[in-house]
Amino acid sequence: MNLQQHQLAAMIRQKFNSGEAKLPLLPEAVIKVQRIVKDESKGAADIAKAIGDDPTFSTTVMRLVNSTQFNTSGHEIRSLQIAVQRLGARKVLQLMIALSAKVHIKVKHKELRAILSKSASHSLMVACAAQHLAKLIGSADPDEAFLAGMIHDIGIPAVVSAAEKELSEIDAESRLDAICCLHREMGGRLLSYWNMPDVFATVASHHGIESDDRPNERLIDYVDAADFLIQRGGKDVMFDAVSEGIETANYPAISRLEATEIHIAAVEVELEDSLKGMRQAIG
């Protein structure tokens, strides 16, 4: 970090610590669904009721359940309760959490909005690829791998929320450098602030870095392996770019997962169809 970035980082940390930061909040509907999922006496009808008054979440759930990925029969599902039953309570909750940072942050600065949009698009690609890898390899829950991919870069909207004014006043290169330097730390802080399970804060804090203190956590490897495959496929990234010239089999996360060329080819073949369905649902 240069001096300007150190000063900006110190200011953002102070805002986080003092409660001044305008962080993306978990919507009330998400908090309600979290409670319902933990309560064994409640079910799909309670979840449908909790999200029924939130047009963003209810519309997204209906789009997803009627997408080709989940509704191969082609018969339209119109009941929110049936949609929740079809998708499952955990998947609905994870989708709502993944959407929260995207849909509940308002930024006026054009270039910062563009950064958030590109980050959200990249996270969706990582989520879908990580989910497919987890299905094929089997050493992590595919739905958790999807959620980890969706929120691994959640520190980007966290930093932008905390310091929109300061970031808008510096040049574009410095802006990207500052967000890059801070997004892991602030992503972990935001997910802790949301009371998310520690594993997701760990993914946000440690993805994209090989170091001696890297936690031995499979979900980080799924996220990093997915990110690598996406970049290998020619997708440009703003942050956490992988060094060129690394053989796929030698990439640390792929090696640790023991992913084979068959796994990788299957992910690459299925990724576009999966992305198409999720983009239709999420918008």
Average pLDDT, consecutive stretches of 10 residues, N- to C-terminus, the chain (283 residues): 74 80 81 90 94 89 84 85 92 84 73 90 92 93 92 92 87 89 91 90 96 94 96 84 87 95 91 78 67
The answer to whether 92 and 61 are in contact (CB under 8 A) is: yes
Residue 130 lies in a domain: yes
What does the CA dihedral 157, 162, 163, 164 come to, rounded to 10 degrees?
60
Q: What is the pLDDT of residue 200?
A: 95
Q: What is the pLDDT of residue 122?
A: 92
Range of the domain at 88: 25-104
- Cα distance from N-terminal residue to C-terminal residue, the chain: 36
**51, 82, 104: which is the final residue of a domain?**
104
Residues 6+ apart with CB under 8 A from 253: 220, 221, 222, 224, 225, 228
| pLDDT at residue 32, rounded to an integer | 92
pLDDT at position 101: 66
What is the number of domains present in the chain? Answer: 2
For 105, 123, 227, the CA distances from 178, given in Å and listed in that order, are 19, 19, 21
Residues 35 and 125 in one domain: no
Whether residue 193 is contained in a domain is answered as yes
Supply the pLDDT for residue 277.
Answer: 72
In a domain, 55, yes or no: yes
Assigned domain for 197 exists? yes
Q: In 3-state terms, what secondary structure has residue 57?
A: helix
**1 inside domain:** no
The predicted pLDDT at position 103 comes to: 59
